[in-house]
Amino acid sequence: MLDKNGIAKRIAQELRDGWYVNLGIGIPTLIANYIPDGISVEFQSENGILGMGPFPYAGEEDADLINAGKQTITALPGASIFDSSLSFAMIRGKHIQLTVLGAMEVSDNGDIANWKIPGKMVKGMGGAMDLVASADNIIVAMMHTNKAGESKLLSQCTLPLTGVACVKKVVTNLAVMDITTDGFRLLERAPGVSVQQIKDATEGRLIVEGDIPEMRLD
Amino acid sequence: MLQESDIIMGIVKVVSNAKEALKDVKDNMTIMFGGFGLCGIPENCIAELVESGVSGLTCISNNAGVDDFGLGLLLQNKQIKKMVSSYVGENDEFERQMLSGELEVDLIPQGSLAARCYAGGAGIPAFFTPAGYGTEVAEGKEVRDFDGKPHILETALTADFAIVKAWKGDKYGNLIYKGTARNFNPVMAMAGKITIAEVEELVEPGELDPNQIHTPGIFVQRIFQGEKYEKRIEQRTVRPRV
């Protein structure tokens, strides 16, 4: 079974040289720590920067330089800064090659819910609705089950949707799956996790064809 | 209502301070606030609005500040009737007022918020976007397919006042922002009937390089140098020195 860093490490293997990538808050942010050797990517943060670098050294924080999670960051050589309108032009105009975000629920047709629990929690969608509505390549990074042990991979989302039929791939602590017209297709198992465990933790349609390899993280 | 004589005040836009800039803000007006989180917010104007006690405001701002800073100060004071935002997760008082029904809230996707402000300032009454299709955001909105994909109709946003914060500005209202403090400020500057810019440094016309101007002065009606900037950091994240 993977921890959050393991999920990030596995998703980092999906990066390709020259891609512009938007990472959501939470697990996706960790992906920047695991960029494979020989690959250069630029990270976009939707508040208005391309070429986002690592956190600053203590004492060098700049209140005027943050990411979409409101964390202090640095700008790498070659970075560019722009306003919110231009930032979402990049997103809506499909200039970003990969979007990775977290979710509360994903359905087996690719719907995603991640912004609201009616009557309990309302944080807002931020840029997530724009990202999922326009990106061609969307990976969800999340735990397979919620804190109550219930599956987050469903036949139908129960929470208000962020986007419809948009998620292409899901990487959880248990598995890698892509989304097909017939449901979640199991591609890889996390280390030490059986196909049965994944079946038990998946409420939506799960396609298991042939031997499912264990994922390689190194 | 604001008359043209209230808006046009000459090519030199300088006012002495936040109090003078905000002198004709009345109860129940709609105000846009630039900023993302606490980054690039007009601190001096927010402090003056708290001081003035003006109430019933509709505030258009990507976020709602934190409990004790930014727009959170106006929320604590119950001066806000309605918030139009995309993300409000950092503010407990906001969540409490929203869930109890005291505060009206219109949550809209961040890119649509930026585009709606831009449209308001650019004379585009409405536009179609894929963001929000099939979600609560699309309820009651016209849907049309383009290239086989459904889009929803979003309308332009304008405001009685837009209040923005820039790094440097000149007396004609030309503005330059610094870092990611730019965010919503340029599009909101375009969309205010009266746009107030507070700047860290106010200079003479000619001192700023015209090639580097982010917001041309035509969009700004009033400008002043802010008295002080706390520039509070919301999430201080650092890495260890090796």
A97-111, B80-94, B159-173, B210-224: lowest mean pLDDT where? B80-94
- Judged against a pLDDT cut of 80, whether residue A50 lies above it is answered with yes
pLDDT score of A111? 98
Annotated domain spans of chain B: 4-125+157-225
**Average pLDDT of chain A?**
96
CB A92 to CB B236 under 8 A?
no
pLDDT score of A120? 82
pLDDT score of B225? 98
The number of C-alpha atoms within 13 Å of B141 and in the hemisphere containing its C-beta is: 23
Query: In terms of DSSP H, where are the helices of B9-42?
Result: 18-21
- Judged against a pLDDT cut of 80, whether residue B79 lies above it is answered with yes
pLDDT score of B90? 79
Question: What's the pTM?
Answer: 0.96
**Interval B217-227: pLDDT, tens:** 999 999 999 99
- Judged against a pLDDT cut of 90, whether residue B241 lies above it is answered with no
pLDDT score of A91? 96
Please report the number of interchain residue pairs, chain A to chain B, with beta-carbon separation below 8 angstroms: 180
pLDDT band at B96 (very low <50, low <70, confident <90, very high): confident
List the single best residue of B108, B112, B147, B237 to mutate versus A (max A Cβ within 10 A).
B237
Taking residues A60-71, what's their average pLDDT? 96
pLDDT score of A177? 98
- Asked if A46 is an active-site residue, the reply is yes
CB B107 to CB A125 under 8 A?
yes
Q: Which residues neighbour A23 within 8 Å (Cβ) at sequence distance 6 or greater?
A: A29, A31, A32, A43, A45, A100, A101
B234: nearest CA partner in chain A: A70
Which residues on A lie below 8 Å from B131 (Cβ)? 92, 129-130, 133-134
CA B67 to chain centre: 18
- Judged against a pLDDT cut of 90, whether residue B1 lies above it is answered with no
CB A92 to CB B137 under 8 A?
no
- Judged by phi (left if over 0) then psi (alpha if -120 to 50, else beta), residue B65 lies in left
* CA dist., res. A122 & res. B69, Å (int): 20
**Interval B141-154: pLDDT, tens:** 999 999 999 999 99
Taking residues B91-107, what's their average pLDDT? 89
pLDDT score of B2? 63
**Interval A184-217: pLDDT, tens:** 999 999 999 999 999 999 999 999 999 999 999 8
- Judged against a pLDDT cut of 90, whether residue A16 lies above it is answered with yes
What single letter denotes the amino acid at residue B87? Y
Q: Which of residues 58-97 of B touch A (CB under 8 A)?
A: 62, 85-90, 95
Q: Which of the following CATH numbers is that of domain B4-125+157-225: 3.40.1080.10, 3.40.190.10, 3.40.50.1000, 3.40.830.10? A: 3.40.1080.10
pLDDT band at B9 (very low <50, low <70, confident <90, very high): low
Which residues on B lie below 8 Å from A103 (Cβ)? none
pLDDT score of A218? 77
Do A174 and A201 touch, CB atoms closer than 8 A? Answer: yes
Q: Does B141 touch chain A (CB under 8 A)?
A: no
Do A67 and A87 touch, CB atoms closer than 8 A? Answer: no
CB B88 to CB A163 under 8 A?
no
List the single best residue of B43, B92, B135 to mutate versus A (max A Cβ within 10 A).
B135
- Judged against a pLDDT cut of 70, whether residue A161 lies above it is answered with yes
Structure ipTM: 0.95
pLDDT score of B6? 64
* Strand extents, DSSP E, B130-180: 143-146, 149-155, 159-170, 175-176
Which residues on A lie below 8 Å from B62 (Cβ)? 84
* CA dist., res. A46 & res. A91, Å (int): 8
B134: nearest CA partner in chain A: A164
* CA dist., res. A135 & res. A162, Å (int): 13
Q: Which of residues 187-216 of B touch A (CB under 8 A)?
A: 187, 214
Catalytic residue among A14, A42, A46, A105: A46
Query: In terms of DSSP H, where are the helices of chain B?
Result: 4-7, 18-21, 43-52, 72-76, 92-99, 110-122, 185-191
**Interval B144-186: pLDDT, tens:** 999 999 999 999 999 999 999 999 999 999 999 999 999 999 9
